[in-house]
Structure 1
Amino acid sequence: MSLNRRLFIGTAAAMTAGLAAPWVRAQTKPRVVVIGGGPGGGTVARYLAKDAGDALDITLVEANPIYTTCFFSNLYIGGFWDFENLQHGYDKIAAGGVTVINDMAMGVDRAAKTVTLAGGQVLPYDRLVLSPGIDFKDGSVPGWSADQHAEIMPHAYKAGPQTQLLKKQVEEMREGGLFCMVAPPNPYRCPPGPYERISMVAHVLKTRNPTAKILVLDPKDKYSKQALFEEGWQKHYSGMVEWLGPDMGGGVVEVRPDTMEVVVDGEVTKVDVCNVIPGQMAGKIAQIAQVTDDNGWAPVMPDSMKSKLDENVFVLGDASAQGDMPKSGFAANSQAKIVAMTIRGELTGSKVFPAKYTNTCWSLIAPEDGVKVGASYEPTPEKIASVTSFVSNTGEDAALRKATYEESLGWYAGITTDIFG
C-alpha cells in the first residue's frame, strides 16, 4: 500500500468504521454548513458526505473555485514544484454529495443559526464548521499593511498570486542584492514555514545570484527546527544567511515600502526584496461570528474542536486556539476527522470514538535534504496536549535526508487526495 493511503485513507477507515449507522430522519435533513475549503473544511465536508451517506445536507462555502495549498508553496518558490501542482478543485467533493458554493461568507447569526453570503444567499444550519485559515493583524509590522503594501513587500502567506509575486521578485533581484524577511511573532501558520522559505530563497540565489545576501529579522528568540535549519544554511549556503533575533534588533523593525528600506533598532538598511510575514489571527469570518478571544483566535473544546462559545459551531485548523498542535495542513486534516465524527454522532446517532490527533511538518533545506518534526496528541480538560514527539537529527546522512524528502512527496499526494478526493 502506498504511503499516502497508509497515512490518511487507512487511518481514517479505522477511525470511522461503523459510524454511518442507520438513522430515521425527520422531514428535513440536518444541515451542516462548512466555511473554508482547505485542509480543515474540505476534509470535514468530504468525510461527512462519505460516511453519513444521505443522512445530512452538507454545504461547503469557499470563495475560490481553485484552492492553492500554502504547504509546499515554498518548494514552488525554490523551483522544485510547479505552481499548478499546488492547485486543487472541488469537483470530486461536489460529486460525493456536497453542495459547493463559491462565494464569500459575510455574516453569521448564531441565534438564528444562519450564514449570509456576499451574493445575498442565506444558509440555515444545524451545525456550523469554520475553517477560514488566517488573517493578518493590522499594525503588527510598523509601516506595512496588507491592503496597501502587499504588492510591494509581499507576505506570500496566503498561497496564490502572492506566492507567484515573491518568486518573481527573488528571481529578478539585482546581482549581489539583499533579500529581507520580517518573520512573524508566535503563534502563526506553519512554524517551520518562514525558515524553509529562507532555505528555498537561498537555493535560488545560490544558483542564479550567488553574491546576494539574506537577512532574517525575527521577533522570536527561537523557532521550529532551528538547529536543523542553521546546520543546513551553513552547509549549503555558507555566508549567505544572517538571522537577527530580538536581542540583536530583530524584534524592533519598521519597514518603508515606498523606499524599500527596513529600519532595525533605528538603523536604516536598503533592501531589494522584502518578505513581510505579519502577526496573525483567525480568519475574518471567525471574528464576525464572535467566536474568537482577545488574542484573535477561536478557543475550542480539546475533545471535539467545538467552540467554547457556541455548542453548534466548530472551529478548526489555523483559526483555532486548541493547545499544543501547530497551525499546519496536517493538523487541520487530523482535526477535521474528529469534527466530522462528532457531527455525525450528534446528528445521526452514530458512534463517537475518543479523539486522537497527529501532525508532521516536513521541510526542504536543499535538494534532497529534507527534515521533519511531528507529534501525536490527545485531549486533556485544558487543551490538546502533545503525548509523543519526534524531530530529525542534525548530522543525518544524505540517504536518510533524501528518504525524508521523498516521504514528504508521498504525504502531499496523500493529504490532497484525502481533502479533495
Structure 2
Amino acid sequence: MQQFNRRRFLQAFGITSLASVTGVSGAIAGGYSNGARIVVVGGGSGGATAAKYLKTFSPGLDVTLIEPNSTYHTCYGSNWVIGGFEDMDNIAQTYDAMRDRHGVKVVADSVTAVDADKRRVHLAGGDEIKYDKLVMSPGIDFRYDAVEGISEDDAEAIPHAWKAGEQTRILRSQLTDMPDGGVFVMVAPPNPFRCPPGPYERISLIAHYFKQEKPKSKIIVLDAKDNFSKQGLFEEGWAEHYGDMIEWRGASDGGRVEEIDVGEKMARTEEGFERVKADVMNFIPHQRAAKIVHDVGLTNDEGWVPVDQRTFKSEMDGNIYVLGDSSVAGAMPKSGHSANNQGKIVAAAIVRELMDQEPFDPSSANTCYSLITPDHGVSVAAVYQYKDGAQAGVDGSGGVSPSGESADFRKREAEYTRGWYKGITYDIWG
C-alpha cells in the first residue's frame, strides 16, 4: 500500500461521503413516512449509526434500537484506558440523543431469538417486537474451542478486553497490580478479527505505562500470524520508544498457541518451542459472528454472515440486514469506522427499498488510527467502492502513514486520532 497522503484521502472521502448522501437524496426529499417498523439489534458503531440515519433519511419510520447496555463503551479508545492515560468515562456513550433528538425508541434488553417467518424478535425480558425490516449489528463472539485449556469462564483470570467495559477494567487492574519486572503476555488472534491494528496499539500503550511505572517489565506477544496491520510503523515506534521491552513472535517463530494453563498463566506453543509464563496474560480468542446471528441461521461455514455487499442484506433472509463485525464485507476491515459507513449504507438501502427504488452503488471509507505513545500516532486509510458484487478498495486511494517522520508529525497524527474519535462518536451517538 502506498504512503498516506492526507489531503488526497480527505478529498476522496469527501467525494465518497457525498456520493452516499446523494444516493438517498430522493428518499430524504420524498419523506417516506408510512410508519414501517424497523428494528435494530445492537447499539454499537454499526447499529447505532443505522438507527440514527434511518430516522435522518426518513423521519416517519418507526425505528427501535435494542441494546442491553444503557452506557456503551467503545472498543476503540479502550487501549488508552488500559494504558493508563484516559478514564472509562471518556469512552462511554449513551443513547440520550438517539432517543431525545432523533426519535429512536431505545429498548434496554437483549434479543434471545428471532422468528424470521413471523418477523418478530423475542427479548430476554419476555417482550416481543414486530418488524418489517430487521437490522442486526451484534458484533463478535469468541471461539474458545480453538485453544485447549481455556474457556469463557476464565475471562476474569485471563481477560480478553476485546469487548470494552468490565473487561477493560479487569486488564487495567491486573497491570497496575503487576510487580515491576513482571512479564505481560498477549496471545493475539488469527485473521479475521475485530480491529486489525488493535492488539498492537494495546501492546504499545502497555509498554508506555511500563516505561513510566514499571521499567524492568517485559512484554511478549505470541501471534497466530506472521504479519499484522501497520507492522513496519509499529516496530519502528517500538524501537524508538521502548528498546527491547517488546518481543513479538509470529506464527513461524513459536507464536501460535495451542494450550493455556489458566492457573499457571502459561502458554504452550507448537511443539519445538518453549512454554511462556506470564504474570499477566491477555488472551484474545479466535473470533466469529455473534451467537444471535448463528441462532437465526445467517452464518456460513466460517462463522460469519454473507451479505449482499451492495446493501448488506443477508443472503439467507431478504428482510434482515447484517452489518459491522459480524458481516462478510469484502475488503472492508472489521473496524468501528467501517461499521459506521455500513450503517449509513443500510439505512439508505432500506429507505430506498421501501420507496420501491433500486439500491445505489455505495462508496465508503475507513481510517484506523493507532497510538504508539500518547503523542505518537500512525494511521491507515482506504476508500471502497461496490464493484462486481463486493466492497473493493479503490486503486490509488488511502495508504499508510510514512515511516521515518519527525516527532512533530507523529504528534499531529496523535491529535488527529483524538479528533477522529470525537468526530465519529458524535456522528454515531450525538
Normalised to the residue count of structure 1, the TM-score between the two structures is 0.94
- Using the TM superposition, give the Cα deviation of residue 74 of structure 1 relative to its aligned residue in structure 2, in angstroms: 0.6
Q: Give the equivalent residue in structure 2 for 1:143.
A: 149
SS of the equivalent of 2:317 reads: coil
For 1:277, give the aligned amino acid.
I
- Using the TM superposition, give the Cα deviation of residue 379 of structure 1 relative to its aligned residue in structure 2, in angstroms: 1.4
- CA separation of 1:23/1:228 partners in 2, compared to 1, >3 Å: closer, same or farther? closer
Q: 1:225-304 alignment to 2 at 5 Å?
A: 225-266=230-271, 267-304=274-311
8 Å CA contact 1:62, 1:101 repeated in 2? yes
Post-superposition Cα deviations, 1:1-51, rounded to whole Å, max 9, x if no partner, equal: xxxx9899988765654432446766xx21100000011000010111122
Q: Give the equivalent residue in structure 2 for 1:188.
A: 193
Q: Give the equivalent residue in structure 1 for 2:6.
A: none
Matched length: 415
- Residue in structure 1 matching 2:119, options 113, 117, 124: 113
8 Å CA contact 1:18, 1:351 repeated in 2? no
8 Å CA contact 1:189, 1:318 repeated in 2? yes
- Residue in structure 1 matching 2:418, options 387, 409, 415: 409
Post-superposition Cα deviations, 1:288-328, rounded to whole Å, max 9, x if no partner, equal: 11111111100111111111111111110101012111100
8 Å CA contact 1:46, 1:419 repeated in 2? yes
Task: Indicate the RMSD between aligned Cα atoms, in angstroms.
Answer: 2.2
Q: 1:9-408 alignment to 2 at 5 Å?
A: 16-22=24-30, 29-54=35-60, 56-95=61-100, 96-146=102-152, 148-266=153-271, 267-349=274-356, 352-387=359-394, 388-408=397-417
- Once residues 177 and 231 of structure 1 are traced to their aligned partners in structure 2, the CA distance between those partners, rounded to angstroms, is 24
8 Å CA contact 1:142, 1:255 repeated in 2? yes
- Once residues 200 and 167 of structure 2 are traced to their aligned partners in structure 1, the CA distance between those partners, rounded to angstroms, is 18
For 2:286, give the aligned amino acid.
G
- Using the TM superposition, give the Cα deviation of residue 353 of structure 1 relative to its aligned residue in structure 2, in angstroms: 3.7
For 1:315, give the aligned amino acid.
V
Identity %: 47
- Once residues 94 and 182 of structure 2 are traced to their aligned partners in structure 1, the CA distance between those partners, rounded to angstroms, is 38
- CA separation of 1:382/1:20 partners in 2, compared to 1, >3 Å: closer, same or farther? closer
Post-superposition Cα deviations, 1:256-290, rounded to whole Å, max 9, x if no partner, equal: 11122222335333210000000001111111111
- Once residues 14 and 80 of structure 1 are traced to their aligned partners in structure 2, the CA distance between those partners, rounded to angstroms, is 40
- CA separation of 1:8/1:303 partners in 2, compared to 1, >3 Å: closer, same or farther? closer
- CA separation of 1:60/1:141 partners in 2, compared to 1, >3 Å: closer, same or farther? same
Post-superposition Cα deviations, 1:85-138, rounded to whole Å, max 9, x if no partner, equal: 110110110111111001000101111111111111111111110000100013
- Once residues 201 and 7 of structure 1 are traced to their aligned partners in structure 2, the CA distance between those partners, rounded to angstroms, is 38
8 Å CA contact 1:360, 1:372 repeated in 2? yes
- Once residues 140 and 388 of structure 2 are traced to their aligned partners in structure 1, the CA distance between those partners, rounded to angstroms, is 26
Structure 1 stretch displaced more, 134-143 or 221-230: 134-143
- CA separation of 1:252/1:89 partners in 2, compared to 1, >3 Å: closer, same or farther? closer
SS of the equivalent of 1:103 reads: coil
- Once residues 98 and 270 of structure 1 are traced to their aligned partners in structure 2, the CA distance between those partners, rounded to angstroms, is 49
8 Å CA contact 2:325, 2:334 repeated in 1? yes
- Once residues 138 and 59 of structure 2 are traced to their aligned partners in structure 1, the CA distance between those partners, rounded to angstroms, is 25
For 1:403, give the aligned amino acid.
R
Post-superposition Cα deviations, 1:389-418, rounded to whole Å, max 9, x if no partner, equal: 310121111121111111111111111111
- Using the TM superposition, give the Cα deviation of residue 82 of structure 1 relative to its aligned residue in structure 2, in angstroms: 1.7
- Once residues 30 and 195 of structure 2 are traced to their aligned partners in structure 1, the CA distance between those partners, rounded to angstroms, is 39
For 1:328, give the aligned amino acid.
S
SS of the equivalent of 1:19 reads: helix
- CA separation of 1:184/1:7 partners in 2, compared to 1, >3 Å: closer, same or farther? farther
- Once residues 137 and 24 of structure 1 are traced to their aligned partners in structure 2, the CA distance between those partners, rounded to angstroms, is 42
SS of the equivalent of 1:263 reads: strand
Where do 5+ consecutive residues of structure 2 fail to align? Answer: 1-12
- CA separation of 1:8/1:201 partners in 2, compared to 1, >3 Å: closer, same or farther? farther
SS of the equivalent of 1:362 reads: strand
Where do 5+ consecutive residues of structure 1 fail to align? Answer: none
